[in-house]
């Protein structure tokens, strides 16, 4: 199975400051069709995960533009340009290129 390693595990951030989460894959996530199915999800306490980003860098509808995704091959990054209070929770990267699809272990974002 593809292993996704996220770092850091915990990310204390000051409101209004940027944040960055890394996701590294144990193998290339480039699909045979040319797409790279790397998504990012956010889960607030007590809620279901919500998709933020699909295929590396495409923001879902309603996702603020302070969120951006980048990367290629095996290295990917989620950035929040200015953290807001509503951004707390756990962020997961997830790959859907290979079966079984797999998630990273999560990065917990909290406000300092």
Partner 1 sequence: EVQLVESGGGLVQPGGSLRLSCTASGLAFRNYWMHWVRQDSGKGLVWVSRINSGGTLTTYADSVKGRFTVSRDNARSTLYLQMNSLRGEDTAVYYCVVGVTAPSGGYWGQGTLVTVSS
How would you classify the pairing of strands 10-13 and 4-7?
Answer: unpaired
At closest approach, how far in Å is the CB of 81 from partner 1?
A: 22
At closest approach, how far in Å is the CB of 112 from partner 1?
A: 22
Please list every residue from 15 through 74 that binds partner 1, using CB under 8 A.
35, 37, 39, 48-51, 54-55, 58, 60
Please tell me whether residue 100 binds partner 1 under the rule CB under 8 A.
yes
d(CA 6, CA 92): 8
Q: What is the SS3 assignment for 58?
A: strand
Enumerate binding residues for partner 1 (CB under 8 A). 35, 37, 39, 48-51, 54-55, 58, 60, 90, 92, 94, 96, 99-103, 105-106
């Amino acid at each position: 199975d593809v292993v996704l390693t996220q770092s850091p595990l915990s990310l204390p951030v000051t409101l209004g400051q940027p944040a960055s989460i890394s996701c590294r894959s144990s193998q290339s996530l480039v699909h045979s069709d040319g797409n790279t199915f790397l998504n990012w999800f956010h889960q607030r306490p007590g809620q279901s995960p919500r998709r933020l980003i699909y295929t590396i860098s495409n923001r879902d509808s309603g996702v603020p533009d302070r969120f951006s995704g980048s990367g290629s091959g095996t290295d990917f990054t989620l950035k929040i340009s200015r953290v807001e209070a509503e951004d707390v929770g756990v962020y997961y990267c997830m790959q859907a290129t290979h079966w079984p699809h797999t998630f990273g272990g999560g990065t917990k974002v909290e406000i300092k």
